[in-house]
Amino acid sequence: MPKAKNIMGTAFSSSWGSLPPFREFILPTPQTYTTLVNIFQYFPVFTLVQWIISWHPAGKGSYQSSWLNVPGKLGWFIMEIIGPVNLLYTLWKLPPLLNLASLPPANKLVAALYVIHYINRAIVSPLFAAPSMSPMHLSVVLMAVLFNWFNSACLAGWLVGYHIPVLGYTTDGAAAAAGPSSSTDNPLLLLPSATPYSPATHFLSSLGMVLFAAGMIGNIYSERTLFRLRREAAQKRDEQQPAPSNSNAQASSLPPKDNSSSSSSSKNKFSKVYVIPPPTGVFRSILYPHYVFEWLEWLGFALVGTAVFPGSTGHASAYALQAESGSGSGPLRLAPWLVPAAWLADQLRVPLPLPAVVFVVNAVANMLPHARWGRRWYVERFGEGAVAGRGAAVPWCSWL
């Protein structure tokens, strides 16, 4: 434990002590990219507080009366749109040899997958699919904006070819030995025919596309199912007089205990109407399949990223720039939970899609405690019988 604390302390002190000028955070340089990844990889440490404190004033846990509330759909749009906007802006505005049009096909594909996901999350889901969204506390919106900005900045730096050497690992696979293809003037473009990379790259990127598609379809289906159940419950509440509670509890609706009056007077009849899905289909063993499918989606995203190779201008550029300026601390020391991914990339001789792997880990670290508290909320409002022994995100696990 003391050793882990020393590693984290060294990482934080080296990152904060060598912060580049603010303008370089808008359009990241290799040094800025290194700093951002070094900080963002430790995000799971901050999520530990979410396991202890259930406070999350958004969605089911929102407070109607707070003057710091942001309308739900507006807040969701703001916090989710920052990611794709920042990514595309960075890829578009970096110098000509690093801009969006000049990127290799694999890099463009990864960028497109990210943007497609967030078009659904920022626009389609809140503005067109959701029947209603509870107010969000401004603090939740700002924290989500910060997370998505960090994440998109790290992904953008990776996709333009910046590369961070990782202490103890060859994170660019075998492709680095070949250098860029002589058939192009673009120093970022490493042609597959010119690089002795492992054949595993073909398989992993293809598998990643399958997982990404399956995860996104499952995520949308699960979420839309919950939206449909909420609409049906609200319609029944409006069409029928309250009846004795002999209906199926798994498809019943219930407004929050402290907000029943505000619910009935709301302009949106779906506001604060919640349902517990019946234990069938994707909800058979867990209550948050949309979370699990999103994790699957980002796992596929990271596997597609094994086809993204650092360009010659980015290859070890972060380390070189730091060495010249005297502001760096050498290769990056990975957070302990990222070491298995680096080891596996080494064994398979494929590039380590470090920012994408960090994203997967951070997404799980952020969402899993929310799912756990959400399961407790379901038990408190609908009873353990309606939960039917299901886990939050782990099948049949009452704790997770």
Q: What are the residue ranges of helices labelled H in 53-103? A: 72-93
Structure tokens at 194: 């010119």
Q: Which of 205, 197, 221 is CA-nearest to residue 113?
A: 205
Strands 69-70 and 136-137, by their bridges, are antiparallel
In tens, the pLDDT along 115-141 reads 999 999 999 999 999 998 989 999 999
Looking at residue 25, its pLDDT comes to 79
Q: First-to-last CA distance in the chain?
A: 25
How confident is the model over 92-111, as a mean pLDDT? 83
Instruction: State the total domains in the chain.
Output: 1
Looking at residue 247, its pLDDT comes to 43
Flag whether pLDDT at 387 surpasses 70: yes
CA 305 to chain centre: 15
Structure tokens at 114: 């990210």
Looking at residue 176, its pLDDT comes to 44
Are the CB atoms for 356 and 158 separated by under 8 Å?
Answer: yes
Measured CA angle at 354 (ends 349, 355), to 5 deg: 150
Q: Which of 292, 149, 283 is CA-nearest to residue 225?
A: 283
In tens, the pLDDT along 208-217 reads 999 999 999 9
Q: How far apart are CA 399 and CA 141, in angstroms?
A: 27
Q: Which of 277, 276, 256, 51 is CA-nearest to residue 135?
A: 256
Flag whether pLDDT at 84 surpasses 80: yes
Q: Which of 141-150, 205-214, 328-337, 371-380 has the lowest mean pLDDT?
A: 328-337
Residue 308 falls within a domain, yes or no? Answer: yes
Residue 30 falls within a domain, yes or no? Answer: yes
Are the CB atoms for 138 and 68 separated by under 8 Å?
Answer: yes
Query: How many Cβ atoms are within 10 Å of 253's Cβ, its own excluded?
Result: 18
Q: How far apart are CA 55 and CA 366, in angstroms?
A: 13
DSSP state letters, 337-384: GGHHHHHHHHHHT-B--HHHHHHHHHHHHHHHHHHHHHHHHHHHHH-H
DSSP state letters, 244-292: -S-S-GGG-B---GGGHHHHHT-SSTTTT--B---SSGGGSSBS-HHHH
Of 198-212, 234-248, 249-263, which has the strongest mean pLDDT? 198-212
Residue 163's region, left for phi above 0, alpha for psi from -120 to 50, else beta, is beta
Residue 94 falls within a domain, yes or no? Answer: yes
Burial of 297 (0-12, 13-18, 19+ CB in 10 A): buried
Looking at residue 103, its pLDDT comes to 86
Residue 16 falls within a domain, yes or no? Answer: no
Measured CA angle at 361 (ends 355, 362), to 5 deg: 85
Mean pLDDT of the chain: 81
- Choose between 42 and 190: higher pLDDT: 42
Please give the share of the chain, as a percent, with pLDDT higher than 70.
Answer: 75
Looking at residue 333, its pLDDT comes to 93
Flag whether pLDDT at 190 surpasses 80: no
pTM of the model: 0.84
How confident is the model over 288-300, as a mean pLDDT? 98
Structure tokens at 116: 């497609």
Please give the share of the chain, as a percent, with pLDDT higher than 90.
Answer: 56
Query: How many Cβ atoms are within 10 Å of 179's Cβ, its own excluded?
Result: 14
Flag whether pLDDT at 325 surpasses 60: no
69: three-class secondary structure by DSSP? strand
CA-based diameter of the chain, in Å? Answer: 77
pLDDT-based confidence at residue 170 (cuts at 50, 70, 90): confident
Looking at residue 235, its pLDDT comes to 86
Looking at residue 10, its pLDDT comes to 56
Are the CB atoms for 120 and 79 separated by under 8 Å?
Answer: no
Could you give phi then psi for residue 391, rounded to 5 degrees? -85, 175
Q: Which of 19-28, 33-42, 319-328, 362-371 has the lowest mean pLDDT?
A: 319-328
CA distances from 21 to 17, 39, 164 (A): 12, 16, 19
pLDDT-based confidence at residue 368 (cuts at 50, 70, 90): very high
Strand partners, 169: 166
Q: What is the dihedral of CA 84, 87, 89, 92, to 10 degrees?
A: -120
Flag whether pLDDT at 305 surpasses 50: yes
Q: Which domain holds residue 139?
A: 25-174+197-237+269-387
Flag whether pLDDT at 254 surpasses 60: no
Looking at residue 185, its pLDDT comes to 45
In tens, the pLDDT along 11-65 reads 555 555 556 677 777 889 998 999 999 999 999 999 999 999 888 887 777 666 7
The residue type of 358 is: V
Contacts of 119 (CB under 8 A, 6+ apart): 84
DSSP 190: -
